[in-house]
Amino acid sequence: MRGDLERVLVDEARIARRVAEMAQDISRDLLDALGVSERDGDPELDGGLTEGRIVFIPVMTGAMVFTADLVRRMPLKLSLELVAVSSYPGATTESKGARLAAELPQDLTDKHVVLIDDILDTGRTLGLLSELVGERGPASLRIAVLLDKPARRAVDVRADYVGFEIPDEFVVGYGLDYGGYYRNLPEIATLRADVIRGEDGPDGTTPTGRQDAEPKA
């Protein structure tokens, strides 16, 4: 698997440090939003102060690894509700739009919601999800992503928490895939050009790694 890599953009240690910082920032902001202060008790010990108020919504499958590391560094009583969005009709390096592949939790009224994804690319996925969450009347909505590729934005979406801003390059690892593979790499890396352009490209990708077919929905 490592033989397919071209260059490591962010190594394991840097990811771990940044994820820990993000967990602290998000926890602090959620406690502020809930009006929980030190005098109300230690939120780490007294879960009652945040119980039923905080919902994290990771976008499967890419956000799986990031979410697992992030939430284990957060002392809050929170619940996790997975959502699935298919943004690619198969394996390709090109996003063609987003559609919801699993229902959002119905009851988000008055909850503090945090949408989590691996990467903010064109913004279609998180644009769609913020709209849908917004319709459910949450108390607040925040977006946390490990990576941001601002050069690629097509929809105006801003993340409240960004791990790393990266250039316009296709990356894999730490949850991000190409053709379903490489999610289990502990670092963020680019793939060798011949891996992306290989004729054996997964799921009918063209030699450029891009798929010409329009999404089915």
By CB under 6 A, name the binding residues for ligand IMP: 59, 62, 87, 95, 98, 117-125, 170-172, 176-177
Nearer to ligand IMP, 36 or 118 (CB): 118
In whole angstroms, what is the distance from residue 175 CA to residue 70 CA?
13
Nearer to ligand IMP, 28 or 210 (CB): 210
Around Cβ 165, how many Cβ atoms within 10 Å? 11
Question: Contact at 8 Å (CB) between 16 and 9?
Answer: no
Q: Which of ligand IMP, Mg ion, none interacts with 176 (beta carbon under 5 to 8 A by kind)? A: ligand IMP
The dihedral over CA atoms of 200, 202, 205, 206, expressed in degrees to the nearest 10, equals: -10
Q: Which of 69, 118, 121, 177 is catalytic?
A: 121
Q: Which of ligand IMP, Mg ion, none interacts with 50 (beta carbon under 5 to 8 A by kind)? A: none
Min dist CB 48 to Mg ion, Å, is: 34
Min dist CB 33 to ligand IMP, Å, is: 25
Q: Which of Mg ion, ligand IMP, none interacts with 124 (beta carbon under 5 to 8 A by kind)? A: ligand IMP
In whole angstroms, what is the distance from residue 125 CA to residue 202 CA?
22
Nearer to ligand IMP, 123 or 201 (CB): 123
In whole angstroms, what is the distance from residue 58 CA to residue 99 CA?
15
Min dist CB 143 to ligand IMP, Å, is: 11
Around Cβ 20, how many Cβ atoms within 10 Å? 13
Active site residue 121: yes
The dihedral over CA atoms of 115, 118, 122, 125, expressed in degrees to the nearest 10, equals: -40
Q: How far is CA 2 from the centre of its chain?
A: 23
Cβ-closest residue to Mg ion?
62
Question: Contact at 8 Å (CB) between 91 and 196?
Answer: no
Nearer to Mg ion, 43 or 62 (CB): 62
Q: Which residues bind Mg ion (CB under 5 A)?
A: 62
Residues belonging to the active site: 121
